[in-house]
Amino acid sequence: MAGMTARRSPSLVSVVIAVLNGEELFAAQLESLVAQQVDVPWELVVADNGSTDRTVDIAKRFASRVPHFVLVDASQQRGKQFAVRQGVAASEGDLLAFVDHDDICAPGWLAALVAGAADVDAVSGALELTALNEPAEIAARPWVHIVDKLPQMLGGLPFPHAGNWAVWRDVWDTIDRPEGDLPHWAMGDDRVIGCMLAREGKSLGFAPDAVVHYRLRPVGTATRHQMRLYGRADPVLAKRYQDLGVRAEPLGRVLRRYADIVPRALKAWAERDDAHWARSEIAYSLGRLEGSIRCRVLCL
């Protein structure tokens, strides 16, 4: 495998969380991290992106319950990627692990992620959906079948689950380039990570026992907006990383996808069943169209 590293154990793991106004759900994630048992030293780095609620106070309550705690003021610029980078800059670990503030790490998550990172450059864990979400919320997502394996973008290039992955610091320093961030009108930083790992010849592994209970956004307008932003990212990636095999789907596959979506959507709206899935799929497809127009590349 390209970029394969010699087996190694980290001297320190930095668990980095970027957060903005997360008072409602943050404590549950922090409790799950406090309960982690792992044989290597680790630190918790909270990068606050300018919260105006009790997020910082909640984080401080856990400072004495983790081996080492770092609170970072990342309020200078709004945006998750900025906060993540500020957190990494303030961390000291040679292995960096990333989770979201509103999810919950399962017991054994950190130990499994560390073990999975031993002989690869970066590693992704698995997502579990049933613990924190209602069946209707899960059914509304077209991508729910990829949570227990590495997801793949256009062309089959794998990428990590953004809310559950780890990378060695020297690799992070190689792949993290702010100029490679997606434009503000698109979403999909995890796919950019996959592209940058591939471009630098770095390996990406999968640790199925490193499980994060993933919290979906409530079904509704916010979900469809999210899917639309994801769709907009596809043409951007297809244009930037064509040399890596990231390219638009063949026309025949596009037509088959629409042939499945359209009748299913009409049936869903007529019977008031499965309508959220249909709306999410249509929002994603609309996002691809919008991204194609902006990028002047056909990616439907």
Q: How many CA atoms lie within 13 A of 285 on its CB side?
A: 16
Distance of CA 169 to the CA centre of its chain: 18
Give per-residue pLDDT as tens, 204-253.
999 999 999 999 887 777 778 888 999 999 999 999 999 999 988 777 77
Its pTM stands at 0.91
- For residues 154-178, average pLDDT: 95
Residue with tokens 């970072």: 72
d(CA 51, CA 22): 8
Residue-wise DSSP of 193-209: HHHHHHHTT--EEEEEE
Those residues whose C-beta lies under 8 Å from the C-beta of residue 297, and which sit 6 or more positions away, are 235, 238, 239, 248
pLDDT of residue 217: 81
Those residues whose C-beta lies under 8 Å from the C-beta of residue 25, and which sit 6 or more positions away, are 101, 102, 215
Helix (H, G, I), strand (E, B) or coil at 81: helix
Q: Is the pLDDT of residue 270 over 70?
A: no
Every domain of the chain with CATH number 3.90.550.10 lies at: 13-213
Contact in structure between 18 and 44 (CB atoms under 8 Å): no
- For residues 107-132, average pLDDT: 97
272 phi-psi bin (left φ>0, alpha ψ -120 to 50, beta other): left
Q: Is the pLDDT of residue 7 over 60?
A: no
Give per-residue pLDDT as tens, 70-109.
999 999 999 999 999 999 999 999 999 999 999 999 999 9
**Reported confidence tier of residue 1, pLDDT bands at 50, 70, 90:** very low
Contact in structure between 269 and 275 (CB atoms under 8 Å): yes
d(CA 95, CA 93): 5
pLDDT of residue 300: 79
Contact in structure between 13 and 86 (CB atoms under 8 Å): no
Q: What is the CATH number of domain 13-213?
A: 3.90.550.10
Give per-residue pLDDT as tens, 40-59.
999 999 999 999 999 999 99
pLDDT of residue 111: 98
pLDDT of residue 109: 98
